[in-house]
Amino acid sequence: MRIEKTLKCILLDDELPSLRFLKMLCEQISGLEVVKAFNDPVVLLKEYKSLNFDFCILDIEMPQFNGFDVAKELEDYPIVFSTAYKQYASDAFDINAVDYMRKPISLSRLQQAVLKVEQVINSRSAESSPFAQFNTNKGKAILYFSQINYVQIAEVDSRDKTVFLGDGSTILLKNISFDRLLALLPEQDFIRINKKEIIALKIVKFFSADVITSSLVDGQDAAILFSLGESYKKSFLEKFA
């Protein structure tokens, strides 16, 4: 089996032997990369926002949070469930899970699930729109993604976001989180670089360990610089790998 485009996944299973076995199976599929394997749902929920991945494979029965709780938090990502129990299948598909695998999982069964994920991701890309509608300080607005250079948390209210456009103007998006915004923006074109900013990859000119030099200039014709946060560095560098 060969995936057309590299897919990145995160794994979650509170039983370490099952987690190791699932990771070993994943590593046998060409084009599939395990970004991180978690055995604690609390840790996953704390860290996933700083990771660059395409989909998740989740166990269901776990302490504190079950797989459905985690899936609700990861609603923008395709979900594959991996469990020893058959009674949760209908619940899994009620939340639009891509697949439901029964343990013990075979390599061929995992391959089937990954192919389904690939089809879902490809269909989403084909259906993706070049624009989205937002609530702004001036009312409803259609914003084309190609217009966006970067986005910052608004100075007055952190729930709002200031968008800096290619024509030099700005627009204020009302009450929208970075997670929601990243779910709308084309993943291949935008990335979060710190706690306060998302940038379009097209404006990146140079970068070092902690500073991004953009192709944009300020009022004194000096290049606009951006800070590259430590927890966002790995996903940023992967964009240019």
pLDDT at residue 201 tops 60: yes
pLDDT per position as a tens digit, 71-124? 988 988 999 999 888 887 778 777 778 999 999 999 999 999 999 999 888 777
Crossing angle for the helix pair 107-127 and 16-26, to the nearest 10 degrees: 70
Question: How far apart, in whole angstroms, are the C-alpha atoms of residue 58 and residue 67?
Answer: 6
Residues in the chain: 241
Contact 181, 175 (CB under 8 A): no
pLDDT at 35: 95
**pLDDT at residue number 179:** 87
Q: Please tell me the predicted confidence (pLDDT) of residue 79.
A: 94
pLDDT beyond 90 at 154: yes
Q: Residue holding tokens 């074109």?
A: 189
Residue 236 burial class via C-beta count within 10 angstroms: exposed 0-12, middle 13-18, buried 19 and up: buried
Give the pLDDT confidence score for residue 165 in this predicted structure. 96
Tokens for 57, please give them.
């494979």
pLDDT at 180 over 90: no
**What pLDDT, on the 0 to 100 scale, is given for residue 6?**
83
* DSSP secondary structure letters along the chain: -EEEEEEEEEEE-SSHHHHHHHHHHHTTSEEEEEEEEES-HHHHHHHGGGS--SEEEE-S--SSS-HHHHHHHTTTS-EEEEES-STTHHHHHHTT-SEEEESSPPHHHHHHHHHHHHHHHHHHHHH--SEEEEEETTEEEEEEGGGEEEEEE-SS-TTSEEEEETTS-EEEEPS--HHHHHHHS-TTTEEE-SSSEEEEGGGEEEE-SSEEEEEEE-TTSPEEEEE--GGGHHHHHHHT-
Prediction pTM value: 0.55
Tokens of 129: 């729109």
Give the pLDDT score at 44: 95
Contact 149, 218 (CB under 8 A): no
Question: pLDDT tens digits for 53-71?
Answer: 999 999 998 888 889 999 9
**pLDDT the model gives residue 3:** 59
Average predicted confidence (pLDDT) for the chain: 91
**For residue 147, is pLDDT > 70?**
yes
Find where tokens 């776990």 sit.
62
Q: Each residue of 14-45: pLDDT tens digit?
A: 999 999 999 999 999 999 999 999 999 999 99
The whole-number pLDDT of residue 125 equals 63
| Predicted local confidence at residue 187, as pLDDT | 86
